[in-house]
């Protein structure tokens, strides 16, 4: 776009220097950029065969003077300077675009910004560069319109950036709330598991105490509750070990049955009810 603009302006220029070939004009602009004095440049220009030919064809052989060079410095030379800055900026953006392709593979942990966020940063830089170039241009309605249009684009980018920041804050709050709810639910499950573990532990210890008492009294070891107790401890051996409940003691040989005598009558073993929240809690101790 910058090149097209310069070409259109140059097409309207009919001065002596504007008629010169592009290579000579670029050479002259570079010498002016280096700050060489006008008198030496004018003398060198008029000595070139290509320049003398153009002057003969279009200006009746009148040579280039310092006034012609001053007019060129205020017009064509300034446009050339703006174009050079645009070229440098374009090269920088192309280099950044190549680097951007590598950045796309960056993980969110290394750079949490999205691809579009990084593109927006470069768009803002480009608009700022265009704004500076508009400031350097000749004053007039076109310059004012251009600067206002660029300022409007920058303001839109700024508003979009503010909206993005607000959305990021809201998303972070939602993530924090979700984490808090998840942590609260986990803590509640842990609390319930601890309560259930305590209930199972108390039930298993009561069941074991009744079983030990039955062994001491040498009775009720063939009763349904005793069979259920042995099955309960066998099915939950790992869990009971983890919560610190010892296994049931081995069942002794019933010497009274071997001699054909009834065992001595003792007080009945009290029944034990299973906790409400424990698994496999159908075991209870029946009355003797």
Q: What is the pLDDT of residues 251-266, one digit of tens each?
A: 776 544 444 444 444 4
Q: What is the average pLDDT value for the chain, to the nearest integer?
A: 75
pLDDT at 285: 36
What is the pTM for the complete model shown? 0.36
Looking at 2-75, list the stretches that DSSP marks H as alpha helix, in order from N- to C-terminal side.
2-12, 22-33, 38-46, 49-59, 66-74
Query: Confidence class of residue 219 from pLDDT cuts 50, 70 and 90?
Result: confident
pLDDT at 69: 93
Q: Which of 20-29, 96-105, 198-207 has the highest mean pLDDT?
A: 20-29
pLDDT at 66: 92
How far apart are alpha carbons 269 and 119 in whole angstroms? 81
Q: Are 51 and 45 in contact (CB under 8 A)?
A: yes
Q: Which of 274, 276, 279, 183 is closest to 239 using CA atoms? A: 279
33-45 pLDDT tens trace: 999 999 999 999 9
pLDDT at 149: 84
Q: Are 236 and 280 in contact (CB under 8 A)?
A: yes
The residues, any chain, with a CB within 8 Å of residue 206's CB and separated by 6 or more, are 272
Q: What is the C-alpha R_g of the chain?
A: 48
DSSP 245: P
pLDDT at 215: 86
Query: Confidence class of residue 217 from pLDDT cuts 50, 70 and 90?
Result: confident
Q: Which of 253, 205, 252 is closest to 229 using CA atoms? A: 205
How far apart are alpha carbons 187 and 83 in whole angstroms? 66
pLDDT at 161: 77
pLDDT at 196: 80
């Amino acid at each position: 776009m910058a090149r097209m603009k310069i070409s259109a302006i140059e097409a309207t220029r009919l001065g002596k220097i504007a008629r010169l070939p592009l290579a000579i004009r670029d050479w002259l602009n570079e010498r002016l950029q280096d700050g060489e004095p006008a008198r030496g440049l004018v003398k060198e220009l008029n000595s070139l065969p290509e320049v003398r030919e153009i002057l003969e064809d279009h200006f009746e052989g009148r040579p280039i003077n310092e006034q012609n060079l001053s007019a060129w410095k205020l017009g064509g030379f300034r446009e050339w300077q703006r174009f050079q800055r645009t070229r440098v900026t374009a090269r920088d953006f192309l280099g950044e675009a190549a680097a951007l392709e590598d950045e796309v593979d960056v993980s969110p942990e290394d750079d949490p910004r999205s691809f579009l966020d990084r593109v927006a940063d470069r768009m803002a830089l480009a608009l700022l560069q265009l704004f500076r170039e508009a400031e350097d241009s000749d004053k007039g309605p076109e310059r004012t319109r251009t600067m206002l249009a660029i300022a409007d684009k920058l303001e839109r980018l700024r508003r979009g950036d503010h909206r993005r920041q607000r959305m990021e804050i809201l998303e972070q709050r939602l993530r924090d709330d979700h984490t808090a709810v998840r942590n609260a639910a986990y803590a509640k499950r842990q609390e319930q598991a601890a309560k259930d573990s305590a209930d199972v532990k108390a039930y298993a210890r009561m069941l074991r105490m009744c079983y030990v008492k039955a062994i001491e009294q040498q009775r009720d070891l063939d009763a349904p509750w005793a069979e259920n107790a042995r099955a309960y401890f066998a099915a939950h051996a790992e869990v009971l070990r983890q919560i610190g409940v010892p296994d049931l003691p081995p069942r002794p040989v019933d010497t009274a049955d071997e001699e054909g005598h009834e065992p001595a009558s003792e007080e009945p073993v009290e029944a034990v009810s299973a906790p409400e929240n424990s698994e496999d809690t159908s075991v209870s101790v029946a009355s003797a």
